[in-house]
Amino acid sequence: MPDTETALQITDDMRAQIGVESEPWTYEVTTTSVRMYARGIGSEDPIHYDVDFAKQQGFRSIVAPLGYIGTPVYLPGSNDPTFGFPRRAGGPRLDIPFKGLLDGGTETEYFDVICAGDVLEETSHLADLKLREGARPMLFITNESVYKDKATGKVVVKQRLTSIHM
């Protein structure tokens, strides 16, 4: 029997938020955070751990494993306590009645290598909304983020993240 969750529609108000650019947020890449991420994926490549080795290979410092684009600066009350992402002004706000949440996909485009010591500035916007009807309807939300080197303004990474709400 359908419950209230199945009543979800993508409204004009929701669609109007597509493309609305967020305020920027700072992401930090440190030697400790790079090593933690490398441990998390189970890599033993010294390029992620040994600063001297990484410099001998021509890098500024140890290299961030692929998938790691820094850690958002955490300010109590300003970041999501479960996921850590910033709840900043200017970004899209969606009221989603679904309780279930899963990763839908990740696409990352690299324009430079990320190393410890880098400080990035990220902005994001809602890129797409899709509703899949069925016995258990699912809402697909895709956000696009651009990460720039805070010092130079150069684009380092573009990323699309899709989450599935059901």
Partner 1 sequence: MTHQVFFEDVHAGDEIPQLRKNCSTQQLVQWAAASGDFYQIHYDRDFAQATGLKGLIVHGALKNAFLGQLLHDWIGEGGQIRRFGCSYRGMDEPGQDILCRGVVTKTYTLDGRHYVDLDIWTEKPDGKRTSPGTATVTLPGRA
* H/E element, 138: strand 138-149
Q: List C-alpha distances in Å: 146 to 16, 27, 58, 141.
A: 20, 11, 26, 17
Q: Which is nearer to partner 1, 33 or 61 (CB)?
A: 33
Q: Which is nearer to partner 1, 94 or 113 (CB)?
A: 113
Of 6-65, binders to partner 1 (CB under 8 A) are 33, 36-37, 39-43, 45-47, 57, 65
| CA distance linking residue 56 with residue 117, whole number of Å | 17
**75 binds partner 1 per the rule CB under 8 A:** no
**90 binds partner 1 per the rule CB under 8 A:** no
Q: How far is CA 9 from the centre of its chain?
A: 25
- Residue of 107, 128, 130, 132 interacting with partner 1 (CB under 8 A): 107
Is 10 in a helix, a strand, or coil? coil
- Residue of 106, 130, 132, 154 interacting with partner 1 (CB under 8 A): 106
Torsion of CA 101, 37, 68, 26, to 10 degrees: 90
Smallest distance from the beta carbon of 96 to partner 1, in angstroms? 14
Smallest distance from the beta carbon of 4 to partner 1, in angstroms? 17
Q: Which is nearer to partner 1, 17 or 59 (CB)?
A: 59
| CA distance linking residue 37 with residue 40, whole number of Å | 5
CB 162 within 8 A of CB 107: no
Q: Which residues lie near partner 1 (CB under 8 A)?
A: 33, 36-37, 39-43, 45-47, 57, 65-68, 71-72, 74, 81-85, 99-110, 113, 160, 162
